[in-house]
Structure formats: structure tokens, C-alpha cells
């Protein structure tokens, strides 16, 4: 009953909290299912939506062909998921960038080295940014990054 009262007064806050609960469940499920597999942690730096909008640092948790990632940059914070296929990856990126309320992107990346853990990556992110005035903009970003540390 109290939660309904709070959600009526602060509807956008409740919607964002519900979205975050969904993302927490997805991340927990992927981590739980992959807990028996060998995992690697990857640190990279770069430009683009996958790095928080502009210059940023990204932490990735790599298990077999799945990578969960979080990044913080000069203009925002993002989280994402990539499915790795040979020297490509397909993924999703979600976050707040460039003063937007929500940003959701589909991501495609090409890895120049034969390993995902080290080397250059070039990507394209296509999606939608929702502004605080409820205006939605479609955007595309190039991503360029370098993975330099893995353990």
C-alpha cells in the first residue's frame, strides 16, 4: 500500500527501479548459470556508447562466449551484454549518457586480435535515447576501445 502511494507520486523513479530489478535478475541468472565455467575479468578503455558516451573505462566479466560489462565515462554510465562469435560480438547497451534519462542500443563489435581479452575493438551502436522532456532521439555511435588488462 505504501509502495503504491510512493509510486503514484514518483512514477518515473518506480519505473527505473523496476527496470533495475529486471537487469539484476538477468545478470544474476547469467552469472549463476556460468559459475562452473572459467571466467575472466577484462579492463579496457575507449570512446563511444559502450564506454559511457565518451572517453571511459570498461570492466568486463567474460565467461565462455558471454560478456557482461559496465562502464563509466566523461558523459555517462552504461551496462551491457555481448555474445561473442569468432572475431565479432553482438550485444545490448543500456545507460544514461549525454544528459539523457535512458539510452538503449544494439551493439556490433569487431575484434582485431584473435582474443577478446587483449587488443583493439571497433564497434557500432544503434539505438534510442530518451530525454528528460520525454523526447526520444534515435542515435548511432562508433565505439573504439582497447582491452589491456585481463585476469
Q: List Cα–Cα distances, 115 to 77, 103, 106, 121, 148, in angstroms.
A: 26, 29, 22, 11, 11
Q: How far apart are CA 101 and CA 129, in angstroms?
A: 7
Q: What's the pLDDT at 114?
A: 64
Q: Where are the beta strands (DSSP E) in 1-101?
A: 39-47, 56-63, 66-73, 76-85, 88-97
Torsion 85-25-80-107 (CA) sign: positive
Q: Global pTM?
A: 0.70
Please give the chain's pLDDT, 151 residues, in tens: 444 444 454 455 445 545 555 666 666 655 555 555 577 888 899 998 888 877 899 998 888 888 889 998 888 888 999 999 988 999 999 888 777 778 888 999 999 986 666 889 999 999 887 777 778 888 888 999 998 867 6
Amino acid at each position: 500500500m505504501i509502495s503504491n502511494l510512493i509510486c503514484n507520486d514518483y512514477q518515473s523513479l518506480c519505473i527505473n527501479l523496476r527496470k533495475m530489478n529486471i537487469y539484476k535478475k538477468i545478470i544474476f541468472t547469467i552469472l549463476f548459470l556460468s559459475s562452473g565455467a572459467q571466467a575472466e575479468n577484462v579492463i579496457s578503455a575507449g570512446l563511444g556508447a559502450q564506454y559511457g558516451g565518451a572517453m571511459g573505462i570498461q570492466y568486463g566479466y567474460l565467461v565462455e562466449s558471454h560478456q557482461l560489462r559496465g562502464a563509466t565515462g566523461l558523459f555517462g554510465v552504461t551496462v551491457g551484454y555481448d555474445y561473442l562469435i569468432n572475431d565479432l560480438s553482438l550485444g545490448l547497451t543500456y545507460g544514461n549518457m549525454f544528459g539523457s534519462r535512458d539510452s538503449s542500443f544494439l551493439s556490433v563489435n569487431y575484434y582485431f586480435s584473435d582474443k577478446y581479452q587483449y587488443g583493439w575493438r571497433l564497434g557500432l551502436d544503434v539505438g534510442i535515447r530518451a530525454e528528460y522532456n520525454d523526447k526520444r532521439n534515435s542515435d548511432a555511435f562508433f565505439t573504439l576501445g582497447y582491452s589491456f588488462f585481463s585476469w
